[in-house]
Structure 1
Amino acid sequence: MARLDRYILAQLLWVFGFFSLVLVSVYWVNRAVRLFDQLISNGQPMSVFLEFTALSLPMLIRTVLPISAFVAATYVTLSLLRSSEITVLQAAGISPFRLARPVVAFGLIVTAFLIVLMHFLIPEARAELSRRQMEVAQNLTASLLQDGVFQHPANGVTFFITEITAEGTMRGIYLSDARSQLQRIDYTARTALIVPEASGPKLVMIDGQAQIFDRRTGRLSVTGFGDFTYDLSTMTGPAGRGRSVQELGSSELLAATPALLEETRASVAQFRFELVSRFVDGFAAVAAALIGFSSLIAGGFSRLGFWREVVVAVVLMALVQTLTNALAGPAMRSTALAWLGIVPLGLAVAVSLGLIAWATRKRRVRT
């Protein structure tokens, strides 16, 4: 690699590392605050909180790396333009396409990290996180089985059991749900059972009544029921489900067996789209870096500043992400359209090359 390539690449990697650290920290703190409030309020120890946040890091890093690649390419190119280094290099006969070589190399380095994340670390982290969430949900459900004690499994929820028989049947149930600002509902039942389901545990109350107090009007209504099902997953989280498509390894996505389709409750199109996305999302770093570089290099040197070029780069990134989201729906509904995930990446690279070609043809320097 030429000295020029090493010089630009070193700056790109340094800025990329700095912004990646900052963005991951911001995302992690935002996620950790919500997770801390949820777990600690449910009586979980600090070790569970630390484990959950560690397992969520690969997904956060995957989100941040393409953004950091774009920011690094934009920042370094802007710095080289402001210091007139690019102007001097072009005057020496070095073309914009030649200047793009270290940017592409930088994008491929980030892509290598993303490929490892997408194909190995993230599926494993998602699977382990789901397993631990199910264990926590089961522990929380089991903790409700205490008779003679008023329990508060969630803010605004009070649960009381008079007696638990040897067969596991609960007698004398009282459940108060005051989480809504519009109404408060108090359930009483003669007997009840906790039934595990794929969407989460359910409390089946038999022979009881529900007292609904409307906070706006101050009216109380009473409704009797023979049996009523109350969803406990809002407090304990889902449990007992199979793996999702995102938790499968890439080799399993290639072989969409009937057993896997039944376990994940997904279609073959979703399998194909997920597999394509793991490659496309990896190479998104190359496209992001090229967009940041080409948008600025196309504008050339200007004493009036480069804010227009920066705005163009940001708008192009937003359009690529919007197109990605728009094409995801059709691609997941039809196996024949799974290739649509490649379209935003291809368009981003094509637009970037077009901007670099425009910079090559440009001769006049703006003043």
Structure 2
Amino acid sequence: MPRQPRLGGPLLARFDRYMLSQLMVLFGFFALVLVSVYWVNRAVVLFDRLIADGHSAGVFLEFTALSLPKVIGLVMPMAAFAAAVYVTNKLSNDSELTVVQATGFSPWRIARPVVAFGILLILAMSIITHFLIPASLAQLRMREIEISGSVSARLLREGVFLHPTSGVTFYIGDITAEGELQNIFLSDRRSENRAVTYTADSGFLMRDENGPKLVMLRGMAQSLNRKSERLTTTTFEDFSYDISAFIQTDNGLLRRLEHVPTLELLTRPSAVGAETNNTVARVLDEAHGRFQQPLLCLVAALIGFSALMVGGFSRFGVGRQIVGAIFLLVIVKLVESAVTDPVRSSPDMWPLVYAPTVIGLTISLILLHLAARPFRRPRRTAQEASA
């Protein structure tokens, strides 16, 4: 007689690999879809802001690439939940779970590949939250500072009336191959008492120790006194105009809290808080949040799996179980929002950061317990049935 596979032997390991492969494939699909949706929304905003300021498509692609790690970190728990729900529903509809349970596998045992799936996502997500996101955001911040100080990107645009700052209008008719500006128009209405309009045949941009300057050649300046309504006209051969106010440089902190490495957040919370203008409680919240976020991948996968296991097989489908799983996931996110203010108000409250994980795992354990020992109504006696 052929030897029957032993419980816990090759058959079980084969099923684990099969279910895990299904989870990984579907996770990749849902992650790709969600990242694409978030990326498109982000790309539209970046496109309007960067291209409108005269930056090239290369700068746009660089900014969108640097924002991808944060987007991936946001969608991974949702993709894990969607993959767990889809795979569990598929195995149930194909009667594969029924066959496996008939061989003696309990819901606790079937959950093993789901746990392995969650652990793999925790490892991948940890790399993203602890290394990729801080590094990408720091690089993005540096590029934003460089871009905000770009004279050529903000001012050197032909045939367009630009408004680099409030009360200022700037126009260039043409730019030669040598970089000479032709047909210059500049209106400065920032002063309450005087409005000045400059016109020049040509000019060029230069930079000295005091900042960028616009040098206009063979032009005229018209100054209007707003109170007396008196117009004064002056011609000039060359005139230097300070345009440093047009360049909206970011004078804020170079390094923000989300740029700091996790080890530094944990070992030097007071120094990091002083550098980034944050409290110690906020620093600890950021540090432990980077550990908490990967754990949500495991929580989301287990909730999606265990909620569907409670319902069992039904010819009416598992729509109610899916809605219930989404509701439970919303509860976990509500807990995450509820503990944010207490954690950021006191440095001693940082353990509350992990409350969503604890509650989510507790919910999953309760659901698996109910799936393993389902509540059944007592059968009615024959006398009750005939009544």
Quickly name the TM-score band, shorter chain normalised: 0.7 to 0.9
Q: CA deviation at 1:172?
A: 7.2
Q: 1:102 to 1:187 in 2, by over 3 A?
A: farther
The correspondence for 2:48, drawn from 31, 37, 58, is 37
Q: CA deviation at 1:255?
A: 2.3
Query: Partner of 1:312 in structure 2?
Result: 324
Q: 1:25 to 1:145 in 2, by over 3 A?
A: closer
Query: Partner of 1:174 in structure 2?
Result: 189
TM-score, normalised to structure 1, is: 0.76
Query: Partner of 2:301 in structure 1?
Result: 289
Query: Partner of 1:205 in structure 2?
Result: none
CA contact (8 A) 2:292 2:357 kept: yes
Query: Partner of 1:159 in structure 2?
Result: 169
Query: Partner of 2:259 in structure 1?
Result: 247
Q: Residues 167-204 of structure 1: CA distance to partner in whole angstroms, max 9, x if unpaired? A: xxxx972259xxxxxxxxx99567xxxxxxxxxxxxxx
The correspondence for 2:355, drawn from 338, 343, 347, is 343
Query: Partner of 1:356 in structure 2?
Result: 368
1:1-367 equivalences in 2 (<5 Å): 2-139=13-150, 143=154, 151-153=162-164, 158-160=168-170, 173-174=188-189, 236=248, 238-256=250-268, 258-362=270-374
Could you tell me how far apart the structure 2 residues matched to 1:85 and 1:56 are? Answer: 41
Could you tell me how far apart the structure 1 residues matched to 2:253 and 2:360 are? Answer: 38
CA contact (8 A) 1:137 1:239 kept: no
Give the secondary-structure state (helix, strand or coil) at the position aligned to 2:297: helix
- Per mean C-alpha deviation after superposition, the further-off stretch among 76-85 and 259-268 is 259-268
Q: 1:44 to 1:145 in 2, by over 3 A?
A: closer
CA contact (8 A) 1:280 1:341 kept: yes
Gaps of 5+ in 2: 1-11, 172-185, 197-223, 228-244, 378-387
Could you tell me how far apart the structure 1 residues matched to 2:153 and 2:287 are? Answer: 38
Q: CA deviation at 1:363?
A: 7.2
CA contact (8 A) 1:158 1:175 kept: yes
Q: Residues 284-326 of structure 1: CA distance to partner in whole angstroms, max 9, x if unpaired? A: 1000000000000011111111100000001111111111012
CA contact (8 A) 1:331 1:340 kept: yes
Q: Residues 143-172 of structure 1: CA distance to partner in whole angstroms, max 9, x if unpaired? A: 5699xx953338x975359xxxxxxxxx97
Could you tell me how far apart the structure 2 residues matched to 1:157 and 1:28 are? Answer: 35
Could you tell me how far apart the structure 1 residues matched to 2:80 and 2:121 are? Answer: 7
Could you tell me how far apart the structure 2 residues matched to 1:142 and 1:42 are? Answer: 6
Query: Partner of 2:210 in structure 1?
Result: none
CA contact (8 A) 2:168 2:187 kept: no
Percent sequence identity over matched residues? 43
Q: Given residue 36 of structure 1, which amino acid in structure 2 is its aligned partner?
A: F
CA contact (8 A) 2:54 2:153 kept: no
Could you tell me how far apart the structure 2 residues matched to 1:79 and 1:50 are? Answer: 38
Q: Given residue 103 of structure 1, which amino acid in structure 2 is its aligned partner?
A: V
Could you tell me how far apart the structure 2 residues matched to 1:353 and 1:113 are? Answer: 24
CA contact (8 A) 2:20 2:113 kept: yes
CA contact (8 A) 1:119 1:250 kept: yes
Q: Given residue 356 of structure 2, which amino acid in structure 1 is its aligned partner?
A: P
Q: Given residue 296 of structure 2, which amino acid in structure 1 is its aligned partner?
A: A
Q: Over alpha carbons, which structure has the higher Rg?
A: 2
CA contact (8 A) 1:150 1:158 kept: no
Q: CA deviation at 1:45?
A: 1.1
Could you tell me how far apart the structure 2 residues matched to 1:347 and 1:254 are? Answer: 25
Q: CA deviation at 1:236?
A: 4.5
Give the secondary-structure state (helix, strand or coil) at the position aligned to 2:125: helix
Give the secondary-structure state (helix, strand or coil) at the position aligned to 1:51: helix
Q: 1:8 to 1:326 in 2, by over 3 A?
A: same
CA contact (8 A) 2:167 2:189 kept: no
Could you tell me how far apart the structure 1 residues matched to 2:193 and 2:368 are? Answer: 68
Give the secondary-structure state (helix, strand or coil) at the position aligned to 2:301: helix
CA contact (8 A) 1:291 1:313 kept: yes
Could you tell me how far apart the structure 2 residues matched to 1:363 and 1:107 are? Answer: 28
Q: CA deviation at 1:258?
A: 4.8
TM-score, normalised to structure 2, is: 0.72
Could you tell me how far apart the structure 1 residues matched to 2:142 and 2:261 are? Answer: 16
Could you tell me how far apart the structure 2 residues matched to 1:238 and 1:70 are? Answer: 40
Gaps of 5+ in 1: 162-170, 177-185, 191-207, 212-231
CA contact (8 A) 2:296 2:357 kept: yes
Q: CA deviation at 1:283?
A: 1.1
The two structures, once aligned, show a CA RMSD in angstroms of 3.2
Q: Given residue 302 of structure 2, which amino acid in structure 1 is its aligned partner?
A: L
Could you tell me how far apart the structure 1 residues matched to 2:79 and 2:271 are? Answer: 39
